[in-house]
Amino acid sequence: MMRMQSLSLLKLILLGFFVVALPLVGAIVTAINQVDKLAQDSGRALVAVQKNTGISRMLASRVTEMERSARQFHALGDQSYYDLYNKHRDDVIAILHNLRSASTPQNIQQLLAKTEQSEAAVFAFVEAGEGVSMQALTDTFAILREDVLEIVRLYNTLARDMSNAMPERADNLQSILVGQAVLVIPLSVGLAIVFVVAIARPLRQIDQGIRSLGHGFLSEPIKVSGPKDFEYLGSQLDYLRIRLIELEAQKTQFLRNVSHELKTPLTNIREGTELLRSISQESQDHEQQTIARILRENSVRLQRMIEELLRFGTDGEITSKSVDEPLELDRLVKKVVDKHELALASRNIELVLDVQPIVVSVDRKRISIVVDNLVNNAVKYAPQFGMLKVNLRVAEHGIHLDILDNGPGVQENEKDQIFDWFFIGQKPQDAIIAGTGMGLAIAQEYARQHQGRIELLDSEQGAHFRLILPLARMTSIYEK
C-alpha cells in the first residue's frame, strides 16, 4: 500500500490496467497455446495413423504377391519366381520393420512380432522346396494373411478411434478453458475492485474535505491518503482550511469592532427619537408623531441588525437556520410599505397598493427583507411627484409580487448585472449616499432559498421587478 501511495494517479491507473489485464492476457495466451497444441497433436496423430493404415494395406498387397510367387515357384520350380518371391519378401520385411519402429499401441506391436514369425515360417516352407506339400504351404500363407488382415483391421480401428477421440479432446479443452475463465474473471474483477478502492477512497476523502469546508467545519484537519497527487491536493485543501480559519478570525474581529462603533451613535439616535416621541405626544402634533414613530421603528430595526452583526461575530452566522411558518403575505407587504410612508410623503410619491389576501409558508424574516429591499429600491428611484405600484396576486404559475416605479429605470447595459453582488447601478439624482450593491443580490438569494426568483421585466417607463414564489408555498387564500 505504501508503494501505491508513492505513485502518481496516472501511474496508478496504468498499473491497475496492467495488473487487471495480466490474468486475462495470460488466459488468452494459454487458450491459444492449448488449442494450437490440440490441433498439432491431432494433425500429427491422424497423419501417422493414415500413413500406417496405408502401409498396412500395402503390406497386405505385398503378402498376396509374395504368396503368388511362392506358389508359382513351388509348382514350376522356376528360379525367376523364387527371385520375385524374395523381392516381395524384402518389401514385407521392410514394411514390418517400419511399422514396428513407429509409435503404436502394444497390441499392434505384438501382432507385428507374430506376423514376422508367420513370415519366417512361410520362408522356411519355401526354402524346403519340393519337400513341402502345396497344402502345407497354403496353410502357412493363410496364417500370414490372417495376421496381415488383423494388422489392417487394427490400424483402421485405430484411425476410427482417433477420429472419434478428437471431439472428446475438444470438449475437454473447452471445459479447461471455461474453468480458466471462471478463475480468471473473478480474479480480474477482484483486482479491479482493489484499484477502484485505492482510487475511490482518496476521492471520498477529498469530497468529505470539500463538504466540511462548505459547511464551515474547520476544526478537523483534512487528510487524504492515496496516490501522491491526491495527497498533494489534500494538503492544499488543508492549507485552504487554515486560511479560512484565519480569515474567519479577521472577519469576526472586524465585525465586533464595527458593531461596537455603531452602537454608540445609535444609542444617541434612539434617545433623541424617544425624546421627540415624547414631545410630539405632548403637543399632539400628528405629523411629528408619524416622524417619531418611523424613526423609532427604523432605529429599533437598525439596533437589531447591529445585534445580528455582534452575534455573527460570536457564532459565525447572521441568522439561525431558516424556519418556514404560515404568513399572511398581503399584510407583510402593507407593513413593509408603511415603513416607507415618510419617504413617500416627503417626495410626494403616489402609492397604488393592490394586494390579494394570501397565506404562504415561508421564512418571515427573509421574505420581509426581500419585500423591503424591492420597495426601498423603487422608492429610492421614483421621482418627485412620481408613482409607486405594488400588486400581489396568485397567477397561473406562481405567486406574483409586482413592484413598479416611474423613475429612470434600469439601463440596458446594467440589466445583466443588476442582481450581482456589490454591483452599484446609476445613482438616483437626489440621493445623498450611494447604495452598497447588496440589496437586490440579497433579495434574489433569499427568493431562491424559497425556490422562487426575482425578475426584471420590461417596462415603458421606470423599473418593474417581480418576486415569484412557487404555488407550493401557498397554504390558503382567505377573505378579508
Within a 10 A sphere around the Cβ of 118, how many other Cβ atoms? 20
Question: Mean per-residue pLDDT for 448-454?
Answer: 89
Which tens digit of pLDDT belongs to each residue from 225-248? Answer: 777 777 778 788 888 888 888 887
**DSSP single-letter state for residue 435:** -
Q: Indicate if the pLDDT at residue 435 is higher than 80.
A: no
Point out which residues pair with 204 in neighbouring strands: none
Q: Indicate if the pLDDT at residue 22 is higher than 80.
A: no
Instruction: Determine the pLDDT at residue 320.
Output: 46
Instruction: Determine the pLDDT at residue 393.
Output: 92
Report CA-CA distances (Å) from 418 to 49, 260, 415, 450, 453.
Answer: 95, 32, 5, 20, 13
Note whether 49 and 155 are within 8 A (CB). yes
- Edge-to-edge strand order for the sheet containing 453-457? 350-355, 387-394, 399-405, 464-469, 453-457
Instruction: Single out the residue of 122, 67, 59 nearest to residue 95, CA to CA.
Output: 59
CATH of segment(s) 325-476 = 3.30.565.10
Grid coordinates in use for 133? 506339400
Within a 10 A sphere around the Cβ of 149, how many other Cβ atoms? 14
* Sign, CA torsion 404/406/411/412: positive
Q: Could you tell me what percent of the chain has a pLDDT over 90? A: 6
Instruction: Determine the pLDDT at residue 1.
Output: 47
Q: Rounded distance, CA 405 to CA 350, Å? A: 10
Within a 10 A sphere around the Cβ of 265, how many other Cβ atoms? 9
Question: Mean per-residue pLDDT for 102-109?
Answer: 78
Query: Which residues, other chains included, contact 190 with Cβ-Cβ below 8 Å and sequence gap of 6+?
Result: none
Question: Mean per-residue pLDDT for 101-122?
Answer: 81
> CATH classification of 7-199, choosing from 2.40.70.10, 1.20.120.1730, 1.10.10.10, 2.60.40.10?
1.20.120.1730
Which tens digit of pLDDT belongs to each residue from 124-180? Answer: 877 776 666 778 778 887 888 888 888 778 777 777 777 676 677 667 767 776 777
Confidence band of 2 (pLDDT split at 50, 70, 90): very low
Lowest mean pLDDT among 213-222, 367-376, 434-443, 449-458: 434-443
Domain residue ranges in the chain: 7-199, 216-318, 325-476
Confidence band of 466 (pLDDT split at 50, 70, 90): very high
Within a 10 A sphere around the Cβ of 433, how many other Cβ atoms? 6
Instruction: Determine the pLDDT at residue 433.
Output: 44
Written as one string, the DSSP assignment of 295-319 is HHHHHHHHHHHHHHHHHHHHHS-SS
Point out which residues pair with 362 in neighbouring strands: 325
Q: Indicate if the pLDDT at residue 83 is higher than 80.
A: yes
Instruction: Single out the residue of 73, 83, 67 nearest to residue 128, CA to CA.
Output: 73
Q: Indicate if the pLDDT at residue 113 is higher than 80.
A: yes
Q: Indicate if the pLDDT at residue 402 is higher than 90.
A: yes
Within a 10 A sphere around the Cβ of 270, how many other Cβ atoms? 16
Q: Rounded distance, CA 353 to CA 403, Å? A: 10
Q: Rounded distance, CA 260 to CA 262, Å? A: 5
Grid coordinates in use for 245? 480559519
Burial track 169-196 (b if 16+ CB lie within 10 A, e otherwise)? eeeeeeeebeebeeebeeebeebeeebe
Q: What is the mean pLDDT of the chain?
A: 77
CATH of segment(s) 216-318 = 1.10.287.130
Q: What is the value of pTM for the model shown?
A: 0.44
Using left for φ > 0, alpha for ψ between -120 and 50, and beta otherwise, residue 316 falls in left
> Length of the chain in residues, anyone?
480
